[in-house]
Chain A
């Protein structure tokens, strides 16, 4: 029986009244299932299809995209109009129907006992602003996967604000990437496999954001990692590509240890449950040991650092550019790297209380985020590969998200994730469009002056860059401003703020400056000056430019979804209108979500941030567009930097430059120090120990055993055992010699003996009876 019919049957049987919940919200499992099925379909039948399986992938992701939009609409309706019964006491209503159903969705047979559980969650916490009349209700659907050792392992979907918005982001980006890829990887030898993995990637990420328990999250997390490995190493024939895939995978394994440790701590300290809602509530209600929560948060932060490319474990991310560009767009915008950020958002109470976010002025999460913002941004300046600029930009922007989560600005982080997905996907796809045309990613060698050849790509790239730099009124401005306000540093948004994170605010402002500057450099090197490559570049086809246009529209306009209160006419508290629509629909105000206080936006910070965000580009503009450009015109060459600039003249600047070119020597640290330490001294020491200690032990043991063996041979074997064996041989030989006389071969003698025996037996018989 399919799960579909099962669910339809199960809902009316519920003894737990749930009110009117849209059918779709109860069946969001369809959304990840579609691409998962398309993965199998492409894998088995893709090569026989006219378009090599791409059409199946696009159809599945397109259907998932439509369902995601419908579920977003349904969620908005549910969020505002739900008036049914809620589960204020937070008790799970379980309704076990005894009948067993088996379901065969993904080829695996899952036995479920028809249990359909739906929990409506509310909180006594009433949102400020007079909209407390509505309960924020998450829709939870869970089914038993298996039971073991008294623990229920469940699969299910937890649908609330963050997951529903992620559905939209992932399916949108994935659909555009699919369409873009049909042109970009056309004619590739593993075209079909490429689309198969693209489908699986999408499916795993969708499954990840819908996970209702941490076990399911771990499975999806690992699936996402696996797909990224396969796609980064798509062109594995070249060594650097397969190396990059391995590096991404292995660096992620380092963090995965943290993930497992953290999840195990959560499982046990929450009283043996995998359920996200249960864990979050346990943390909020102070039922968990504070030390355990802190350690869980620290362990999970390690996982976030590797997955979301936070500083010191970010090194795999730029190398992951070895994959096809659409994959980079997918990885950086919607899937792989935001998995870490999403995990913090999902298990926010663990981090919120584990790191004591409210009321402090510095904590691990915010510190890591703010360092990543600045250091990632600095690295983007010295890259010659356009995709690497964008990769470091992603590192920096992910830093913003982690910073925002670290300072308690939850909504700002998710909003930045949302807007960043569009403009970063747009930038990556744009860089791919350029590279597709010049067959290289090197800005200094093969690009320059591209605006004349590729007007559409240029315009979309510009819009996305402006959005990334956070210029008013593009998407990046609103989301970045919210993060800065959320820090609450230097008296900004002090009213009701979580803490006063002065350092984070400053780092965030510096990051904003850097972002604009490195994007200006990138744009100059790519689109301005004279063309330095070979041949005549041309604009890409429709399948590449249309996704770019769509993304740039989002990049320009997505910020309007979450205007700060008081920005437009109308009262700040009004739930209608444009203020904080995003926060209203996405942020859960439920029992499983901490009562975050919201910072108040400030005008002066917006102005300062905008000015800072323009100073950086202005300096870069002065350097590239005026000085370098003039010099280029004078010399008639297309220069990429001043021949006698700071780096050439100033030792300190040169050192800094070298430091950046070598990526803070982190790769050296990992390869030459850590790996070499393992390979060099440790290996030598191990060899010495092997030779002198272990070998000695082995040799001594060997010699001893030889001697013991000799002794045993002489005395025990030769004397005792040989004697016994020989003795028994001699004995049987002699007895045989004696007895063989009986064996005369004469039949009648045998018969005589037979009769004699029979007679004796008969005599005994007669006498005894």
Chain B
């Protein structure tokens, strides 16, 4: 089987995710972009697992999905609180630690 397609797909997804994280102002969209990055990594893991014919990659991907679910739970809760306090989910406004 060919590994390249999977790796290219994952690289594209990763780059889109990074772009989203760095440019989006909306907190929800930043979180979604983080999910893209994680899923790009998942694709890599599963692809390598299938390529080497073992289940370690799959297992690791499932772990990442579980951790990502928790991370999104916490992240969305923070975004929700942010919205309640400021009526906005704009990350660029959160600069109180400016030096």
Contacts and interface: CB of A to CB of B under 8 A. Distances in A.
Contacts of A739: 99
A741 interface: yes
Interface in B47-93: 91-92
A748 B99 contact: no
B2 to A, nearest CB: 22
B99 A741 contact: yes
A535 interface: no
Nearest to A742: B99
A755 interface: yes
Contact of B21 (A740, A745, A746, A751): A751
B96 A745 contact: yes
Given A746-B92, A747-B94, A755 B99 contact: no
B95 A751 contact: no
B95 A748 contact: no
B18 A755 contact: yes
Contacts of B91: 746-748
Contact of A745 (B22, B30, B98): B98
Nearest to A749: B22
A740 to B, nearest CB: 3
Contacts of B98: 743-745
A169 B23 CA distance: 112
A752 interface: yes
B97 A748 contact: no
A220 B91 CA distance: 91
Nearest to B94: A747
Interface string A644-682: 000000000000000000000000000000000000000
A755 B99 CA distance: 21
A744 B22 contact: no
A341 B53 CA distance: 106
Interface in A717-745: 739-745
- In this complex, the interface size class of chain B, counting residues with CB under 8 Å from chain A, is 10 to 19
A742 B97 CA distance: 11
A746 B22 CA distance: 10
A748 B94 contact: no
B75 to A, nearest CB: 12
Interface residues of A, number: 13
Contacts, number: 32
Contacts of A744: 95, 98-99
A154 B21 CA distance: 88
B32 to A, nearest CB: 14
B22 A755 contact: yes
A744 B95 CA distance: 7
Nearest to A743: B99
A294 B85 CA distance: 103
A378 to B, nearest CB: 103
Nearest to B98: A745
Nearest to B21: A751
A741 B99 CA distance: 6
Nearest to A737: B99
Contacts of A751: 21-22
Contacts of A740: 99
A633 B18 CA distance: 138
Nearest to A746: B95
Interface string A507-520: 00000000000000
Nearest to A752: B22
Contacts of A748: 21-23, 30, 91-92
Contact of B95 (A741, A742, A745): A745
Interface string B4-42: 000000000000001001110000001000000000000
A740 B99 CA distance: 5
B15 to A, nearest CB: 10
A745 B23 CA distance: 15
Nearest to B24: A748
A249 B91 CA distance: 90
B91 to A, nearest CB: 5
Nearest to A755: B18
Contacts of A745: 94-99
A760 to B, nearest CB: 14
Contacts of B94: 745, 747
Q: Name the residue in A739, A746, A752 with the highest tally of chain B Cβ atoms < 10 Å from its Cβ.
A: A746
Contact of B97 (A741, A743, A752): A743
A754 to B, nearest CB: 10
A739 B98 CA distance: 11
Nearest to A736: B99
A755 B96 CA distance: 23
Contacts of B95: 744-746
B34 to A, nearest CB: 10
Contacts of A747: 91, 94
A752 B98 CA distance: 16
Interface of B: 18, 21-23, 30, 91-92, 94-99
Interface of A: 739-748, 751-752, 755
6 contacts: A739-B99, A740-B99, A741-B99, A745-B99, A746-B91, A747-B94
Q: Which 7 A-B pairs have the closest CB atoms?
A: A743-B99, A745-B95, A740-B99, A745-B98, A745-B97, A752-B22, A747-B91
Given A740-B99, A748-B30, 8 more contacts: A743-B98, A745-B94, A748-B22, A748-B91, A748-B92, A751-B21, A752-B22, A755-B18
